[in-house]
Structure 1
Amino acid sequence: MVSDEVPVRPPVDVVRPVAAPDVPGEHHWPSGPTRYEIKADGWRAVGAVLEEHRTVLLSRQGTNLAPHFPEILDALRHCPVGTVLDGELCAVVEGGRMDFDALASRRGRDRRSWPPVVFVVFDLLATTGQDLRPRPLQERLERLGALLPPPPTPLQPVLATTSRAEALAWYEALRPNGVEGLVAKGLGTPYIPGRAGWVKIRHTLTVDAPIVAIAGPAARPTHVTVRLADGTEAETNQLATAQRPAVGRAVAGALGTPLPGGRRRVNAEVIAEVAVGTTRHRTLRFVRLREDLLPFYDR
């Protein structure tokens, strides 16, 4: 049953902040002050409450994450019908640190290996009968604060400030806790994918690139070749021992005919995060497999 109570129905095209080299000033946006949020290292997701309090949790590609994050679904049921939240799923490991790689275990059937998770919420896109995306961020945040259930809950507001000095202190101090940088937003800006102008500042400048070939054993590749944004293909450094099985599982069943140099073509959409060197002889360092951008099936 479709009703006017749910004006925004996932999947939703989310805002994707663009990389910036520096943290913008407190009055960078003419429409209002700057809000600085920590950039949690997790999987982007949209959670929503549909008619009859049916809950959904989707990746930014629209993949259904609900079976693998049941505690987030349970927490969402405390929100009003029509609620749509934008946030980041984060695994919390020993010492309260957020661990991106630990989220991959949520693909497995054995729940005993699943790490605790939280849904770090940073925006409210809709509530009962109202699409809030055209409204200023400040208004959406005020309504989000009134909507989130009280603790203890896995739905947690993102740590944020309007002080650039405080944000810079977090940028350095929270790195060991799994915070990979900052996101800066204008408090007067609407939620318009691709047009909000929000920026992200990360400790390591990386890009996402599709893996087009592997080298080495199929189950434990030693190197990967990726296609960069300019269309060129380049091989990364040697993968760490711990990285090889995950890449092997991701490309299983998708390897094509052999290529020169002992490589094999990958005929599937598998994304790697790589750091691109800036020297005259461009180098690529494999950072990690983007597990959150893979089809969500048991591995």
Structure 2
Amino acid sequence: MPAVTVENPLVLPRVAAPAHTAPQRPVLHVGTAPGGFEGEGFPVRRAFAGINYAYLDPFIMMDQMGEVEYAPGEPKGTPWHPHRGFETVTYLIDGTFVHRDSHGGGGTIRGGDTQWMTAGSGLLHIEAPPEELVVSGGLFHGLQLWVNLPQKDKMMPPRYQDIGGGKVALLTSPDGGALIRLIAGEIDGHQGPGITHTPITMAHVSLNPGAELTLPWRPDFNALAYGLAGRGTAGTERRPFGTGRTVVFGDGDSLTVRADDTQESRSPNFEFVLLGGQPIREPMRHYGPFVMNTDAELKQAFDDFQAGRLGVIPVDEG
């Protein structure tokens, strides 16, 4: 799990531990992500399955894509499909993925890179492995997160952000036991590169065996953690979680995650993603590739797609 790393985290800016008086967020729920398949058949884990949307808002869904070692000819992607009313955030840890959309956005992302697509009023897009990866096979692992847009922004023009791994803010804990890759949002005054319409924080953390990380967390944000590899505990009550498990934190000004003293042989550290966002608290209607506020708006999205008003596939793609 290379993503973006450094040999010595102690050279990085440090996130100050919150005051001991800062209220700690309790753990409300730990769930296991069920497996499934997406697109042309690549395996995913549904990180938010079974979690009350009141705890997720403004996030809609998150899939862990892989981790899978493809044989030659096996890598898969998604065919052309529409979106409206939200943002997709694709964070690649291992492998290569190519994005293209009908609004002119696109690019190739590799381990440590993030592509941030604001669908807004609507577009068509495709995600696929490059031809060389299809021929050779190889490791593929990443996340795709869906972030809701408030009603006032749902019909904004589409936008695409290509966030290379070299742009991510790299931070550490006071003792250097954590490597924090801040993709979007703010932690202790440090800012990630992602430009968000809905205020959120997204970070990928590597925690050394036996290390503990306590971070300040905006009290108006929710807080979630998802295990990518390894094992540890969440909260001061030390609720166990690890690969494929999602933690929902309650209210407070800080949160704590600890890595178990012994980790898996395939992953020397405890790897997890931290998410937080400012709840939108508006009605939400989600069906397939569209996320709107009302059933009538969902119907309009389908009508507009069928009428070709969400864009057309580029000519060279047929």
TM-score (norm 1): 0.28
| TM-score, normalised via structure 2 length | 0.27
Q: Which of these two proteins has the greater Rg computed from alpha carbons?
A: 1
Normalized per residue, which structure has more helix? 1
